[in-house]
Structure 1
Amino acid sequence: MAKYLDDVGLAHLWGKIKDYVSSQSQAASPLDAYPVGAIYLSMSATSPQALFGGTWTKLEGRFLMCSDSSYAAGTTGGSNDAVVVSHTHSGESDTDGSHTHSISGGGHSHSGSTSSAGSHTHGTSQSGYSFVTTNGTFKYGSGGASAPAPSSKVTNTAGSGVHTHSVTVNASGSHSHTMSSAGGHYHNLTIDSAGQSGTDKNMPKYITVNAWQRTA
């Protein structure tokens, strides 16, 4: 084939062959896998710029969230701390609270009696009358039979003089107490409105990685 080409034509042909072989044998660049806007994740601290070239920006302190109609790609937001809303609670007991108390009557009795002997004497003064004495003789007063004394008297003594006295005591002893039946009342409740601190309470379980975004 060479004898049909001059030097200029042969040089041109070999140039074409070299370009073709070079284009077919050249390996693809790793940077091609990360177009502008792509994110590179790694546990290694080595920047992808040192590995693949290009321009990269390190992402720090944020989670990745997939975009949707409400959150466009590249939007930032959120908070590590939970929002704790201050609030109060109020309460009261039932205002009725009606109840009763039972009280016993306190009924009881008292007993009493007098002495059953009670012996005593009565003096009787009579004038001009005769009396029969205990030995069967007649006497006029305290004088003799023929000369009774005008102021004579006869003394008569009872044997026992037994008698009784009735004593009556109220046995019931009943009385009453007045009590309010409503019993309505209130209890005040105080609850701290601050609540628990929300610092770092909005964090799900996580594992940290190094992330870069290619910008050019």
Structure 2
Amino acid sequence: MSFSDHKITAFQHKITDLPDQPSLPANELKARFDSSPEELRQAVNGICDEASRLEARVEGIVVDTFGDTIDREMLSEELAAELDAKATQTSLNTESEAREAAVSALDTRLTEVEAQKCEIYLGSYNGNGEKNTQAIRLGYQPKAVLVANARWIGNVDNPQRMELAMPDIAAYHLVVTSTGFEVKGMLNCTNTEDSVANPYRYIVFK
């Protein structure tokens, strides 16, 4: 059979052919209502069966003619050129996506490095008394603070005074705070208490 053999030109029983008040028995009336859908079902199933048989025949012809694979030489020049163009575009798209991924990864890494970088600030202050605690306000909590007095050249008997502190590691006379740092004792002497201490210099790592 062919596809055209399943063509429905007209249904065998049409509902519109029945009188307005049918006098048929109930079973015959039900059969009339079911007849058209049944004809349609059989026709559609027949078409599906024919399509399956056609697909199998075409597949057999392709295998018998070309074997398991189709080489480029078997294609027309137009089709081969079209496939080459699509393959080239696919390669370009893949390369572009790889570059975009690499750029995105680099941007992410730069952002991470930017967040981790450390800025350095220099400053000085004068002590206000060895027994006092002086707060040096910076407006932020530093990552580390290094403080030294003005005596840059010391010796064994009178060394330069210098301390380093971090938020979780305080020095004896130096403490990091949420707004800067605090000094006391030998890092907060006046000129009277230590004539070569002032001005104290500090290096702040933000």
TM-score w.r.t. structure 2 length?
Answer: 0.23
Instruction: State the structure with bigger RCO (CA 8 A, min sep 6), 1 or 2.
Output: 1
The structure with the larger Rg is 1
Specify which structure has the higher proportion of helix: 2
TM-score w.r.t. structure 1 length?
Answer: 0.22
